[in-house]
Structure 1
Amino acid sequence: MTAVLVLNADCGPLHRVSLRHAIRMLFREVAVVHEAEPGRRIGGYPMPTVVRLVSYVVTRWRHSRGPAWSRTGVLARDRHSCGYCGGPASTIDHVLPRSRGGRDDWANTVAACGRCNNRKRDRTPAEARMPLLVRPFAPTWALSV
C-alpha cells in the first residue's frame, strides 16, 4: 500500500497516510487531490499521491522541541539498524545503562540487535569495547515527516 502526503490548506506538509485513508478523506470532503498519478483512478477519484486539506489545521505541536522519546521512535530514527554492528535491530540499548543513571531519552539510546545488546550488557560502549557507529540525536519534527 502506498503512502499519500497530506498538505495543510497553506500547502505545508503535515504527515503521510495510507491510500485507503486518503480516499476516505476525499470522500468526506475534508481534502482535495493536489497531485495524482496520471491515468489511474479508484472509483470516482484519481489515485492521489498528494492531498491538500480544505481547511487549515493549526499545528502548534510542530513548533515544540520535537517528538517525545519512545522505543518505536528510536528504532525509526536509526532505521532499524544496529548502532554497534550495523545489522538489523529489533531492540534498543542505553549507551549509559539505566543501572548507572542513564535515562530513557534520545541522546542515551540507540537501536541494537539482540546479539550486541546482550554482549554489551550493563557496560558503557568503551568498557565493552563496542564503539558506536552512529551518534544518537534528538530528532526534530522536520525529520519525522
Structure 2
Amino acid sequence: MSVVLVLNADYGPLHRVSVRHAIRMLFREVAVVQEARPDARIGVFPIPTVIRLVSYVVTRWRHSRGPGWSRAGVLSRDGRRCGYCGGVASTVDHVLPRSRGGANSWENTVAACGRCNQRKGNRTPAEARMPLRSAPRAPGWAELAAH
C-alpha cells in the first residue's frame, strides 16, 4: 500500500499516512493536495503523494524529547545491520542484559543477527569478546522518519 507524506501548514514534515487516510483528510477538508500522481484519481480527488494541513499543528513535543524506544525503532536506527558483525539483523540485543538491570533504552540496545545475539547470550560485549561496531545512541525524529 502506498504512503502519503503529511506536511504541517508551514510545510514542515509531520508523518506518513496511508492513501485511504489521506483521502479522508481531503474529504474532511483538513488538508489539501500538495503533490499528486499524474492522471490518477479516486473519485474527485487526485491520488496524493504529499498533502499539507490547512491549519498549523503545534509540535513542540517532538523537539522537547526524542522518539520513544521501540524494537522497530532500534532496527530502523541501525539500518537492520548487526551491531557486532554487520550482517542482516533481525533481533534486538541489550548491551547490558536485562537480567543485570539493563533497560529498554536507545543507549542500551542494538540491532543484532540471531547468531551474534545467541553467541553473546547473557553477557556484556566485553565479557563475550564481541566489540560493538558503533556506540548505540538515541536517534532524532528526522532520522527515524527517513527510514
Pairs within 5 Å for 1:124-135: 124-135=124-135
Alpha-carbon distance, 1:50 to partner: 0.7
* Number of equivalenced pairs: 145
What is the TM-score normalised by the length of structure 2? 0.88
Q: Sequence identity, in percent?
A: 76
Secondary structure of 1:127's match?
A: helix
Partner of 1:67: 67
Matched with 2:114 is 114
Alignment correspondent of 1:77: 77
- Segments ≥4 residues shifted beyond 3 Å: none
Deviations 1:58-105 (A, max 9, x none): 112112220111222212222332212223322211112223332221
Q: CA deviation at 1:7?
A: 0.6
CA distance in 2, matches of 1:109, 1:93: 5
Partner of 1:95: 95
Taking the aligned partners of 1:70 and 1:49, their CA distance within structure 2 comes to: 27
What residue ranges of structure 2 are gaps of 5+ in the alignment? none
Report the aligned-residue RMSD: 1.6
Instruction: Using the TM superposition, give the Cα deviation of residue 14 of structure 1 relative to its aligned residue in structure 2, in angstroms.
Output: 0.5
Q: Which residue of 1 aligns with 2:43?
A: 43
Q: How far 1:16 moved relative to its partner? A: 0.9
Aligned to 2:22: 22
TM-score by length of 1: 0.89
How far apart, CA to CA, are the structure 2 residues paired with 1:3 and 1:108?
Answer: 31
